[in-house]
Amino acid sequence: MPALIIGRGPRVAGAMLSRVVDAAFRVRAAVDADAKEIGEAHAAAWIAAYDHIFDPDFLRAAAEGRRTGWPHSIHRLLVAPNILLVGEMDGRVVAFAHATPLQGTHTAEVVGFYCHPDAWGTGVASLLMARAQSAVSDDADEVVLWTLRDAHRARRFYEKVGFRATGRRQAAALTDWTGGIAVERPAVEYAAPLRP
């Protein structure tokens, strides 16, 4: 899949909300060499987005598991029918989207979608989601995803980019990625049509 150069947009740098700079965005297929930066983005997103959902010890372990686990697991996600895309900002991987078709249906699922907090509000996540939806649209009429019920920021983002809550709920089993701790939290399903 060729890279899609998106252009330039505003970026909030770190915690200094008053300092806005231009950033070049690019969305492309992931490669093995992206594993470390994907892990960094995944871990940072967990820490920032889920601090009100998980116990601090579990959250630290889960973030560290995601940070260090990507180099050992990325190869499984680079094989069809998986689609693994990354969003870059100024040449740095700051977000990823993992999608796959659901067998025997005309539905695809976004299995994982995370953006480093440094890139929140820049537009790179919206562009990445659009590209992920485009990548699965040949074989699917809709795309679904599950997110934690109490992940309010994520839910607002999904609604902003066209997803709607389906009303389906489940208990999501989450692990620290080390084979150690596992916890359950309520999750909700969202769906977006891929065709009018």
- CB contact burial 8-37 (16+ within 10 A = b; e otherwise): ebebbeeeeeeeeeebebbbbebeeebbeb
Q: Which domains can be identified in the chain, with CATH numbers?
A: 4-141 (3.40.630.30)
How far apart, in whole angstroms, are the C-alpha atoms of residue 42 and residue 12?
19
156 membership: H or E segment, kind and range: helix 152-160
Predicted TM-score (pTM) of this structure: 0.87
10-residue mean pLDDT series, the chain (196 residues): 39 33 83 98 97 93 94 95 96 97 95 97 96 94 97 97 97 79 91 88
Q: What is the Cβ-side half-sphere exposure of residue 20, based on CA atoms within 13 angstroms?
A: 8
Backbone dihedral angles phi then psi of residue 56, each to the nearest 5 degrees: -55, -40
| pLDDT score, position 177 | 72
Find, among 84, 103, 106, 105, the residue nearest to 95 by Cα.
84
161 membership: H or E segment, kind and range: none
Structure token digits, residue 52: 């009100």
